[in-house]
Structures are given as C-alpha cells and as structure tokens.
Amino acid sequence: MLWVDKYRPKTLDQVIVHQDIALNLKKLVTEQDCPHLLFYGSSGSGKKTLIMALLRQVFGPGAEKVKVENRTWKIDAGSRTIDLELTTLSSANHVELSPSDVGFQDRYIVQEIIKEMAKNRPIDTKGKRGYKVLVLNEVDKLSREAQHSLRRTMEKYSTSCRLILCCNSSSKVIEAIRSRCLNVRINAPTEEQIVKVLEFIGKKEGLQLPSGFAARIAEKSNRSLRRAILSFETCRVQQYPFTSNQAIPPMDWEEYVSEIASDIMKEQSPKRLFQVRGKLYELLTNCIPPEIVLKRLLYELLKRLDAELKHEICHWAAYYEHRMRLGQKAIFHLEAFVAKFMSIYKGFLITTFG
Amino acid sequence: MAPMLQSSQQWVEKYRPRQVKDVAHQDEVVRVLTNTLETTNCPHMLFYGPPGIGKTTTALAIAHQLFGPELYKSRVLELNASDDRGINVVRTKIKDFAAIAVGSAQRQGGYPCPPYKIIILDEADSMTEDAQNALRRTMETYSKVTRFFFICNYISRIIEPLASRCAKFRFKPITEEIMSSRILHICKEEGLNLDAEALSTLSYISQGDLRRAITYLQGATRLFGSSISSNDLISVSGVIPQDVVEALFTACRSGDFDLANKEVNKIIAEGYPVSLLLSQIFDVVVEAEDISDEQKARICKRLAEADKCLVDGADEYLQLLNVASHVMLALCNMPEELNYES
Ligand SMILES: Nc1ncnc2c1ncn2[C@@H]1O[C@H](COP(=O)(O)OP(=O)(O)OP(=O)(O)O)[C@@H](O)[C@H]1O
Ligand SMILES: Nc1ncnc2c1ncn2[C@@H]1O[C@H](COP(=O)(O)OP(=O)(O)O)[C@@H](O)[C@H]1O
Ligand SMILES: [Mg+2]
Ligand SMILES: [Mg+2]
C-alpha cells in the first residue's frame, strides 16, 4: 500500500493537521440533526480524509467496510435509453460517487440515481442513525443543470438522507446549493504541518531523517499533503539512508513544462510554435488537465520574465483559460496563448534591443 | 412524519412555514394568495428572486391549503429540476396531467378544493427554451382546469410568452428586521441565546437569505453550544477575514508583481472562495477614500469581468491573479496596454 493510503488517519481523533476542524465535525454530528456539508479546498489538503473519518464517527467502523462496484444504469430519456456507467463505493450507511465522471450526461445521474438513493430509507434500521449519507465528489465539475437538479432533492429528502459534497473550488458551485449546506473550508496544510506529518510517517517506518530534509520536501509540495507524502516515498525508494542534500525529484510533467518554457523564451517563430504544439499534445494525452498545464507554464514564464511584461502575460493566461473553458478543444487555446506570448515577447525584445 | 425522524430534521425544514400567512416579508404575494383562499380564484403565477427567501415554501403552502392532504396527490404535480423536464416530459407527463378533468368546486374537510389542478414547476430557470416553448400550448389549452406556478431565481431565463401569461411576483431578500424576528423565534423554540451583535452579524453574513441564516445558526449551535456569539457565526459562515483582503491590497499597492502573486497563491491555498473575495474587494474599493474615481472604475470593470469568467467556470487562481494585476496597475497609475482588448 502506498504511504498516502497507509497513513491516512482513520478517525477524527487521529488527524495530525486540521485538528480544530476535526473537533468541530465531531461536535456537529453528536446530535441527529446534522446539516448537509460542503467541503472545499485545494487538492491534497485533506478533505477526503476528514470526510471518511467523519463517516466513521457517525456510523462506526462499519463505514469502512466499503464495497466498490461498477454499475450500469439504464436511463429512460424519452425517445431513447441511455446507458450510464459509474463506480460507486458503498457501505450499509453511505454511498460515494463522482457524478461528473459521466460527463455531459451528469444530469441524469442526479435526477435518476441520486434522487432514488436519497429517497430510499437506510437499509440498516438497527443503527441509531435515521439517515444515510451520500458523498458526492467533485461537485464543482458538475454541469449547471446537474447542480440545479440537486437543489430540491437536498430539501425534499433531508429527513432520510444527508449530502456531503466535496470540491476544489466553491466558486463553481451555484449559490443555491451553497445556501443549502454548511460550508467547511479545508485550508491547505502549512509547510510546518506537512513536516510534522512526514516526521510522523518517518518514525512509523523507522527512518532516519537528516535535519531539513522533510522541510525541503514540504517546500516543494506546493502545500499539498498528498504530493509531499508521495515524493517522500519516492525519495525513500531512490536512496536510503537519506542524505541531507539528496535531490527531491520533481514531477516528470513539470520538468517537461519547464522545458517548453525555455523553448519559447529562446526562439519565437512558427517553427518553434509547431514544435511546442507537439509537446503540449504529449502532456494532454498523458491526462494532465489543460488548465494545470497552462498555470504551470505561466509559472515558469513568470520566473523568467522582466517585471514589466508580467502583467500582460498573466492577463492573457487568464483570457485564454477562460476561452478554453467555453470552447471544446483545449489545445487550440493553449497554442493561442503560446503564440500570443511569442508575439509579445518578440515585440519586447525588438523595442529593447533593436 | 414518524416521530423517530423528528430529531433528524434540519431546522430549515422544521421551520418551513406550512401556511401562506406565516411566510415572512413577501406581503404582496401573501395578500393575493390569502385572497385566493377565499375566492378560490387563481391566475398562473411566476415567483422569482434569490435563494432562500420563501418561493418554494409559498407555492407548497398554498397548494396544501387549497386541497388538503386527501386531494393533494391527485390535484398537485410538483416538478423540480431534479425531475426530467425535457420537451418529452412536457409533451407527455405535464400535458396528460393538465388535461385531466376535475369536478366542480366542493369544499372537502375544510379545504376550498377549487375546480382546477396546480402544476408547480420549481427551479424553472433550468428548463430549456424548447421545453418552455412546448409548454405554451398546454398552458392555453387547459387553462380552465390547470394553473401553473413557475418558480425561478432569474426571471430572464423564462421565455417572454410564458412570463407574460403569469402574475409575476418578485420575492424580496429578507430585511434585517424580519430576519431577526424569525431567528429570535427559532432561538426561543430551541432554547438558544443570541445577543444583539450576533443577531445583526447573522443577518449581515446571510445577505437576506433566510435559509442560509438558519443553516448557520444550526451549525453554530452544534459547534458552540446554546450561547452563540458574533464570532462563532462568522467562523461557520466562511466569510473571508478582512485582513486577508487588506493583505492583498497592500501587496497590490507595493507595485511588486511577485509579491501580489505570492499573496494570491496564499489565498488559493487557504481555500477562500474567489467569487466571495471579489465581492469583498468590491466593498473595500467602493468605500475607500484614498482611491480616485478613475481608479475605482478601472478596478470595478475588471472585477465584473472576472466574476463573469468565474461563472463560466474559469480558473480561480488565474482570475484572481489577473484582478490583482489590474488593481496594481490602477493603484500605481500605470497604464494598461492598449492591445489588452484582444
Ligand atoms: N419568507 C419566509 N418566511 C419564513 N421562512 C422562510 C422564508 N423564506 C425562507 N424561509 C426559510 O428558508 C427555507 C427555504 O426557503 P424556500 O425553500 O422557500 O426557498 P426558495 O426561495 O425556494 O429558494 P431557492 O431559490 O434556493 O429554491 C424555508 O424552509 C424556511 O425555513
Ligand atoms: N489530517 C490529516 N492528518 C494527517 N495526514 C493527512 C491528513 N489529511 C490528509 N492526510 C494525508 O494526505 C493525503 C491526501 O489527503 P486527501 O484527504 O486525500 O486530500 P483531498 O481529498 O483534499 O485531495 C491522505 O492520503 C493522507 O495520507
Ligand atoms: Mg480528493
Ligand atoms: Mg426553492
């Protein structure tokens, strides 16, 4: 088992970071009338961990006995039937799913399946809880229609069902849904907190950590606990005993984006643009989300630029990411950003150096 | 409802008014509907307004009061966004229900039971235009035996031909005064203690949305017990602390792009919702005395554009960084590049 899973705290008492939030969650479920919850925060900040620990708090150890199923639903959409496939994780008292996985048909998942699940009373009536819990992941990726479909379900069946929604960016969740939940913000752990977790794992694994080593990993983790633990484990595999100056390997794709940035800075020409396109394609086919690529590219470019150009470049990055969201083919917009950059940068070089 | 479930009820549902007369602050519609209860006359209705101010509540209450529990099932069809309401459903399910003939008015068990059915289309702004168009005919053909109630947040999403067939009611955000009295009522029922400051904080943070106020109150009760302070409410509400906004401003004033970028990164890592932050920045900018009108205009224009982009699903980090960059340009009186306009 990977360390990220092996050392995931199982109960609200065991968490190392977010202890204050864990304490609050515990109080929140002592009575029967717990509200719907919306957890939001950046990736790897510990949302899922808290949600699972919360379920355990509510339903006891039974909540950990989950069954993973790949299920297919036949949905009658008037003139035709649609087959939808979705993975669910369920215990006697809760079901977890990511409705946005089915793409633009996510509305049907909410209308047909989630409503059905919410309607039915919990199977296990012996348990002291009169409700079951539906955990929905990535609600910020749900289409607007699907989000609207959740609204009334959250009210109508609230006696038999509680929703726990989880997302990265709560700005993408419609107001009407946010108004129906208690919002729980999960901040990314600070570097010091990450160091604490790494030291904890190190101790459990019986490892010797040179001073400053954990801090260096934390610094490179971008405040993502998951990422820090993963690179810690990678370091362990690459070289043990650790040395204090051991390199922390960056992610492959980040290296690659850094190369792209250098390429662009070196030469601005149609030929170079063509080469860069190939590299961008490569990233996309490896399932790196386009907005992540764009943000990383911006990061690399900003590092290399003069102050006066930074404003303009960040403007265009925001501009093309927005266009990308409205359009269909991400590559067009990534490439347009690169072309725009080249033209601005070339213009800058010419006016400065003639 | 089974007694065992009583305790697992959320307060928003527990305190949902069951009768039209108990709906707070929406006097106009309450007056019209109270009249309906006497005369049983009722036009098609369109309720619109922001979340959590009593639209669904009012529609359900009038339907229950007109027909009572016995007839409710056969006379009222409630469809909301969680139901498929595509064009097919309009042509079949809705049309079939609308077409059913009903007997003449006859009071039953103390309920007026007027000779028509009610179709409630809640969250109607999520219906497609095609589906709405398909409704026009049905509405006209069966207007003798069927009344439609449309409910939505944005009236602009309802096509004109439908809207013009309805009596329109704009539901207003709940005022601080009314909100306080509802909240105090709940506090009394639940045995809570709320001082005046906490009360006014609660109405401020929930911005006229009563559902949100009740949810915060319930959350705060669970977390902090029955004596609730203003700070307790702020901490459950997710409002962004003012010093976060200030820090971003200070960074922008410095004219150092990297500093602002760092601040933006920090805000994103803390998980503050950027849409909310934009409106808090807006409040600060509008009230600031040391910012000229021209600077304010430049900043607000960008805030508006970023807000729209966020609604379209754009990335929070990039939008906020861009806002920060424009705020910096405006505050430091640096020109914007002319070719920014695409
Ligand atoms: N005017 C009101 N008077 C009394 N209680 C209200 C009022 N408005 C809202 N509430 C409270 O808020 C809850 C939600 O109200 P309701 O379902 O009517 O909102 P809505 O206007 O339909 O919102 P949405 O647009 O999000 O569907 C109710 O259960 C009730 O507890
Ligand atoms: N509170 C915590 N204390 C210690 N380790 C944690 C905590 N929260 C998360 N972790 C570690 O970080 C990893 C990633 O957390 P996760 O909850 O999956 O993040 P998210 O759902 O926010 O993306 C977990 O697998 C776990 O090992
Ligand atoms: Mg996760
Ligand atoms: Mg409603």
Mean pLDDT of B238-246: 90
Measure A208 CA to nearest chain B CA, in Å. 30
Confidence category of residue B3, pLDDT binned at 50, 70, 90: very low
Supply the DSSP string of B194-246, one letter for each residue.
E-HHHHHHHHHHHTT-HHHHHHHHHHHHHHH-SEE-HHHHHHHHTPPPHHHHH
When mean pLDDT is compared across B191-200, B204-213, B312-321, B332-341, the lowest value belongs to: B332-341
Q: Which residues on chain A are in Cβ contact (under 8 Å) with B263?
A: none
Report CA(B123)–ligand 4 centroid distance (Å).
7
Average pLDDT over residues B42-53: 94
Q: What is the DSSP string of A196-225?
A: HHHHHHHHHTTPPPPTTHHHHHHHTTTT-H
Q: What percent of chain B has pLDDT over 90?
A: 75
pLDDT at B29 > cutoff 50? yes
Cα angle for residues B269, A194, B260 (degrees, 5° grid): 30
- Out of A225, A230, A231, A233, mutate this one to test ligand 2's pocket (max ligand atoms within 8 Å of CB): namely A225
Ligand 2 contacts (CB < 6 A) are: A 4-5, 7-9, 15-18, 43-49, 197, 225-226, 229
Q: What is the pLDDT of residue A121?
A: 65
Model pLDDT, residue B8:
61
Chain A residues inside the 8 Å CB shell of B272: 185
Per-residue confidence band for B256, with pLDDT thresholds at 50, 70 and 90: very high
A120, pLDDT greater than 80:
no
Give A111's DSSP letter. Answer: I
Count of positions (residues) in chain B: 342
Closest C-alpha among B213, B210, B177 to residue B192: B213
| pLDDT tens, position by position, A69-113 | 998 888 887 678 888 888 999 998 899 999 988 888 888 888 888
Q: What's the burial of A135, exposed, middle or buried (CB within 10 Å: 0-12/13-18/19+)?
A: buried
Residue B151 backbone dihedrals phi, psi, to 5 degrees: -130, 130
Query: What would the pLDDT profile of A191-245 be if each residue is shown by its tens digit?
Result: 999 999 999 999 999 999 998 999 999 999 999 999 999 999 999 999 889 988 8
Nearest ligand to the CA of A40 is: 2
Alpha-carbon torsion angle B108, B111, B117, B121, nearest 10:
-150
Given phi > 0 = left and psi -120 to 50 = alpha, else beta, which region is A119? alpha
Tell me the ligand closest to B153's alpha carbon: 1
Partner A contacted by B218 (CB < 8 A): yes
Q: Which two three-digit tokens encode residue A46?
A: 């510990």
The gap from C-alpha B140 to its chain's centroid, in whole angstroms, comes to: 30
- Find residues 74-103 of chain B whose CB sits inside 8 Å of chain A: 80-84, 86-89, 92
Q: Which residues contact A45 (CB under 8 A, 6 or more apart)?
A: A186, A187, A188, A189, A223, A224, A225, B271
Interval A253-277: pLDDT, tens = 999 999 999 999 999 999 999 999 9
> Average pLDDT in the B279-294 region?
92
- Note whether B183 and B199 are within 8 A (CB): yes
Whole-number pLDDT of residue A318: 97
Q: Is A30 helix (H, G, I), strand (E, B) or coil?
A: coil
pLDDT tens digits, one per residue of A3-58: 999 999 999 999 999 999 999 999 888 876 778 999 999 999 999 999 999 999 99
Question: What rounded mean pLDDT belongs to chain B?
Answer: 90
pLDDT at A129: 58
CA B23 to ligand 1: nearest atom: 3
Instruction: With residue B147 as reference, give the H or E element that holds it.
Output: strand B146-152
pLDDT on residue B340: 60
Contacts 24+ apart (CB under 8 A), A97-105: A97/A134, A97/A135, A97/A136, A97/A137, A98/A136, A98/A137, A98/A138, A99/A136, A99/A142, A99/A146, A100/A137, A100/A138, A100/A139, A100/A141, A100/A142, A100/A143, A100/A146, A104/A143
The predicted structure's pLDDT at residue B337: 62
Of A303, A33, A179, the C-alpha closest to B14 is A33
Tokens representing A115 are 């409503």
Interchain CB distance below 8 Å, B222 and A111: no
pTM: 0.88
- Residue B265: its H or E element: helix B257-270
On whether the CB atoms of residues A149 and A34 are closer than 8 A, the answer is no
Q: Among all ligands shown, which has an atom nearest to the Cα of B215?
A: 1
In this predicted complex, what is the ipTM? 0.91
Structure tokens at B198: 């906490």
What distance in Å separates the CA atoms of residue A27 and residue A230, rounded to the nearest whole number?
32
